[in-house]
């Protein structure tokens, strides 16, 4: 019997990259996965991958920045499945503009996806977890939310805000046996990273700063997420784990 047999796991931004890797791993380990993404075709592709891996999954298409629709969609899915055991707040967008080049729309969109999306997805599942008196919430932050970056201050600050939510919720929700933790990855080989301009040049420079000499594969981050979602992490809450290949050592 697998750790996640009979469990329901909701993953936002599951249509590609780390979110897709998380979905497949949880499916392999027995969970029923709700794969949310703004792109319905991408969510459907993830569902197909989970099913090919022997798991169960359903697709959910909506924008995490649209709070009313997000809450309604997640509430509806949870009502239909009867429970929710794990929420992975993974949805995110990139961007590295300097402060002078950042528009108000770009700033607002960054916070809407990373912070507002995380907040309202969590708001949707908390009533179910309180009723169950159990739950695991894993928020995906970033190494840049910990130490900053010389570009992309909206992204850095949004990811730092996710860490603030993590710590506050860990204290707020502990009486209901709901654990809240964050994963703050360093470099990960995802579609979003590979789509950056001049990525080969950037990658070479960035990897040179990583003691292990490479970026992570998405599935390597999924193992950390699955650990935090498991019973092995039942005495861990309010913590930030940063798989970053040694790029930041504190």
Query: Which CATH architecture best describes the domain 8-240?
Result: 3-Layer(aba) Sandwich (3.40)
Query: Taking 70 as the threshold, does the pLDDT of residue 1 lie above it?
Result: no
* Residue 170: partners with Cβ closer than 8 Å, 6 or more residues away: 179, 180, 181, 237, 238, 239
Region at 135 (left for phi over 0; alpha for psi -120 to 50; beta for the rest): left
pTM value?
Answer: 0.95
Q: What is the mean pLDDT of residues 81-103?
A: 94
Q: Which residue of the set 155, 215, 223, 227 is catalytic? A: 155
**pLDDT tens-digit readout, 4-34:** 999 999 999 999 999 999 999 999 999 999 9
Contact present, 248 and 143 (Cβ < 8 Å): yes
Q: What is the mean pLDDT of residues 41-51?
A: 98
Query: Taking 90 as the threshold, does the pLDDT of residue 94 lie above it?
Result: no
Q: What is the mean pLDDT of residues 65-74?
A: 98
* Burial of 59 from C-beta contacts in 10 A (0-12 / 13-18 / 19+): buried
Contact present, 142 and 193 (Cβ < 8 Å): no
CA dihedral 171, 116, 187, 21 (to 10 degrees): 90
Residue ranges per structural domain of the chain: 8-240
The DSSP bridge partners found for residue 135 are: 178
Q: What is the mean pLDDT of residues 74-82?
A: 97
Secondary structure percentages of the chain, helix, strand, coil, to 5: 50, 15, 35
Taking the alpha carbons at both ends of the chain, their separation in whole angstroms is 38
The least confident of 133-142, 168-177, 186-195 is 186-195
What percent of the chain lies above the pLDDT cut of 70?
98
Q: Note if 215 is an active site residue.
A: no
CA-CA distance, 219 to 27, in Å (whole number)?
Answer: 13
**pLDDT tens-digit readout, 196-219:** 777 777 777 888 899 999 999 999
Q: What is the mean pLDDT of residues 232-250?
A: 95
pLDDT band at 95 (very low <50, low <70, confident <90, very high): confident
Which element (helix H / strand E) includes 158? helix 153-173
CA-CA distance, 247 to 250, in Å (whole number)?
Answer: 10
**How is residue 58 written in tokens?**
């359903």
Query: Taking 90 as the threshold, does the pLDDT of residue 178 lie above it?
Result: yes
Q: What is the mean pLDDT of residues 91-95?
A: 92
The per-residue pLDDT of the chain, averaged, comes to: 94
In angstroms, the Cα distances linking 117 to 11, 66, 101, 215, 249 are 12, 8, 24, 26, 29
CA-CA distance, 136 to 22, in Å (whole number)?
Answer: 14
Query: Taking 70 as the threshold, does the pLDDT of residue 248 lie above it?
Result: yes
């Amino acid at each position: 019997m697998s750790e996640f047999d009979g469990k329901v796991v909701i993953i936002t931004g599951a249509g590609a990259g780390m979110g897709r890797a998380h979905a497949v791993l949880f499916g392999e380990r027995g969970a029923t996965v709700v794969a949310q993404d703004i792109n319905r075709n991408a969510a459907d592709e993830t569902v197909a991958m989970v099913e090919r891996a022997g798991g169960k999954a359903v697709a959910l298409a909506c924008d995490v920045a649209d709070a009313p629709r997000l809450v309604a969609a997640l509430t509806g899915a949870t009502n239909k499945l009867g429970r929710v055991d794990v929420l992975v707040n993974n949805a995110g967008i990139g961007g590295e503009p300097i402060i002078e080049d950042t528009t108000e729309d770009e700033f607002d969109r960054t916070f809407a996806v990373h912070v507002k999306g995380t907040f309202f997805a969590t708001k949707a599942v908390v009533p179910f977890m309180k009723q169950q008196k159990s739950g695991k919430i894993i928020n995906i932050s970033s190494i840049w939310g910990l130490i900053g970056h010389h570009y992309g201050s909206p992204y850095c600050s949004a990811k730092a805000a996710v860490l603030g939510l993590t710590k506050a919720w860990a204290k707020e929700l502990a009486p209901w046996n709901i654990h809240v933790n964050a994963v703050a990855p360093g470099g990960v080989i995802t579609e979003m990273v590979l789509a950056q301009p001049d990525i080969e040049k950037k990658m070479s420079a960035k990897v040179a700063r990583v003691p292990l000499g490479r970026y992570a594969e998405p599935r390597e981050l999924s193992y950390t997420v699955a650990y935090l979602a498991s019973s092995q992490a039942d005495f861990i809450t309010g913590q930030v784990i940063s798989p970053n290949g040694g790029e930041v050592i504190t």
